[in-house]
Structure formats: structure tokens, C-alpha cells
Amino acid sequence: MRKKILYVVVVLIVVVGVAGMWAYHNFFNPAVGERFNLVLRSDESYDEMTEKVKRYIDYDTAFDIYAWHIDLDEGIEPGTYTFEEGMTVIEVARTLKFGSDNSVNLVINNARTPEALAGKIAMQIDADSVSMLAALRSETLMEEFGFDSAEAMFSIFLPNTYEVYADVEPEALVRRLKSESDKFWSDEARVAALERSGLTPYEAMVLASIVHEETNAKDEMARVAGVYINRLECGMLLQADPTLKYAAGDPTIKRVLDKHKSIDSPYNTYMYLGLPPTPIAMPDMAAIEGVINYEEHNYLYFCARPEMDGRHNFARTLSEHNRNAAAYHRALDRMNIK
């Protein structure tokens, strides 16, 4: 009998010891491998919020146990949360329990349409894409800013990182970004640079959107911008292929054909003089600066290089350009690009 009691005692000691070691290891060891930020939204359930957190931490079971212990399921405040490297599951759960700093670094870049921009913004703040798109298409805001379409209002969005509150109202956010745009374009150096080209800030954004779509080579953006400004100044058609892709509604077109050039659209710069009516994409900052500080030269033409390296050959005369274009089209033929 004594042996049985001793055996039970030993087993209990071992079980308690193992449980204690497990608890210490899981509750007090670092659960966060590297610093991360998360936006938790009001339209997400408790399970959805905690699942997002658990993707980035270790010791899920210990987290669930401690979350139950502190009644975390009674509610998590929506907002932006920062979790530092080395935090334990206890610290993670208590951070969720007692709230966030409610600010977020909103990154705005790389969007071709208001719909795409609304989706990107909604992923970062406490707003859904429907309400964000409604703000981007708000007739009240368009009238306030002097635009006649959401596509025209696209010109106010400068690619950058903005610190905002996670629960910012979509219309308030649009007004904030308009204010940032106004500050950018009121800079004395930029005002002086624009006088050189004769472009308004809106026209500069439209042209920058074309330059952005024409080349990924940042060091030739100012040269590409210079070609288009030369064409504007001498009354030539811009003949910008990206505007045809926009008119066709297909940015993936690899080879611009005569059928694309015959599309009757104000965005068809093979058909209509001057800039298209609105930006065709959100330009990156390199393209915007390329237009502001465009290169002065005598080039009127450019064509993608047959090496297909993302760069271009520039030409002053049509005959020189035709030779460049013929070499490029031969390369397309060799690659069977229709």
C-alpha cells in the first residue's frame, strides 16, 4: 500500500514538474521573434483578430490559455498594435487587452485605379474598401477640390507613408491627403521648376503617370519626360503606348497594334493632341520628380531596346526612330510576342 502511495506521489511530482516546465517555457519564453505591427478592424470577430496575431507568435496554446484567463474575448479594441521582439504570450495578450496606440503608418503607392487604391488603404485602416471607395468617388469632395471625376482626383495621392489614426474617417483621410498634396506642390523649388515646363501640378501628375507606366528605369524618367514635353511644345501627338492600354482597359498588353491606335477615346494620344484628361495610374515619386526636373534635350522619340532590359533608345529624327522600332519589333517576333 505504501509503495502504491509513493508511486502516486512520484507520478504527481513528475506531472507537476513537467507541467511547470511547460508553463514556464510557453508563458515566459519570448514568443515574438521580430517586431511587427497589426491593424485589427472593427468588422473582424474575436477569433479573426486573434488568428491574425497568432500567425506571428509562438506558443499558440499558451496564448489561448492566458487570453481566456484575462477574459480577452470580452472585446479587443480595433486599432493598430505594435508587438516588440522578445515579448511573451502574456505581454502580447495584455497588449490586446488594454488597447492600442491607434495610429498606423499608412503606405500609399502602386495603384492603377480608385478601386485598387481603396482596397490598399482599407487593408491598413479601420475602414472597409466600399466606404473608402465611396470617399474617393464622393461628389462632395470632387466639387470641393475642383475635380469632375474620381480618376481626376487620383492626382492628389502622392506615394508616401503617412501617420494617421486607424479609425480615421475615409472622407477625412482624403482631405488630409489633399492637404499633403497642396503642401508638396507649394514648395518654392517645385513651383520654379514647373514654370520651366509650363505645366500645372495637375498636368505634371498626368504626365508623371505616363512616365511611370513607360519605364521602370528611374535614371531615364527625366529623359522620357523631356521627350513628352518637347512633343507638347511643338504640337506633336504624344503617341504614348500606356495611354492606349488604359483606353483599352488592359495594362497587360505587350504589343500595341493598329487596332489599339484606332480606339476612339480621349486617352488615345495617337488620336488626340495633348495630355489625356486624367492620370492613368498613380505615379511613383521618381516619375513625379522626373517630370518636375525633366531633362532638356532634342529627342522627340524613344523606343524599348531590343535587349528587353526595360530601357529605351532615344532618337531625334523619325528615320532614326524607325530603325530603333524595327529592331525592337524583330525582337518581339523572335520571342513570339503578338
Answer yes or no: are the C-beta atoms of 327 and 312 closer than 8 Å: no
Same-domain status, 88 and 109: no
Domain end, chosen from 44, 70, 97, is at 97
CA distances to 173, 185, 233, 306, 326 from 303, rounded to whole Å, are 40, 31, 20, 9, 10
Place of cell 503578338: 338
Number of domains in the chain: 3
> What is the structure's pLDDT at 127?
87
CA-closest candidate to residue 37, choices 93, 114, 102:
102
Same-domain status, 88 and 127: no
HEC sequence for 153-190? HHHHCCCEEEEEECCCCHHHHHHHHHHHHHHHHCCHHH
Q: Specify if 135 maps to a domain.
A: yes
Looking at the DSSP assignment, which residues form a beta bridge with residue 163?
Answer: 105
Same-domain status, 93 and 116: no
Same-domain status, 33 and 156: no
* Nearest 10 degrees: Cα torsion 151, 157, 163, 168: -20
SS3 category, 46: helix
Same-domain status, 42 and 122: no
Same-domain status, 179 and 216: no
Q: Specify if 169 maps to a domain.
A: yes
Q: At 114, which amino acid appears?
A: P
User: Angle at which helices 46-54 and 89-97 pack, to 10 degrees?
Assistant: 150
> What is the structure's pLDDT at 235?
95
Q: Specify if 231 maps to a domain.
A: yes
Q: Specify if 13 maps to a domain.
A: no
Same-domain status, 91 and 127: no
SS3 category, 32: strand
Distance CA 86, CA 169 (A): 34
> What is the structure's pLDDT at 2?
57
pLDDT digits (tens, 9 = 90+) for 51-100: 999 999 998 888 999 899 888 988 887 878 888 888 898 889 888 887 66
Same-domain status, 77 and 51: yes
Find the domain containing 58 and state its range: 22-97
> What is the structure's pLDDT at 230?
97
- Diameter of the chain measured on Cα atoms: 108
User: Angle at which helices 170-185 and 188-197 pack, to 10 degrees?
Assistant: 70
What nine digits make up the cell of 5? 502511495
Same-domain status, 300 and 219: yes
Same-domain status, 247 and 300: yes
Within 10 Å of residue 86's Cβ, how many Cβ atoms? 13
Strands 103-108 and 160-165 come out as: antiparallel
Place of cell 500595341: 256
Q: Specify if 14 maps to a domain.
A: no
Distance CA 177, CA 279 (A): 17
Q: Specify if 216 maps to a domain.
A: yes
Same-domain status, 125 and 204: no
Binned average pLDDT, 10 residues per bin, the chain of 338 residues: 51 46 73 87 87 91 90 83 87 82 82 92 89 94 92 92 86 94 94 93 97 94 97 96 93 86 94 96 95 96 90 94 90 81
> What is the structure's pLDDT at 8?
44
User: Angle at which helices 60-69 and 2-28 pack, to 10 degrees?
Assistant: 90
> What is the structure's pLDDT at 311?
92
Domain end, chosen from 163, 185, 207, is at 185
Domain end, chosen from 37, 67, 97, is at 97
pTM of the predicted model as reported, rounded to 2 decimal places: 0.73
Q: Specify if 190 maps to a domain.
A: no
Same-domain status, 321 and 257: yes
What nine digits make up the cell of 125? 485602416
Q: Specify if 2 maps to a domain.
A: no
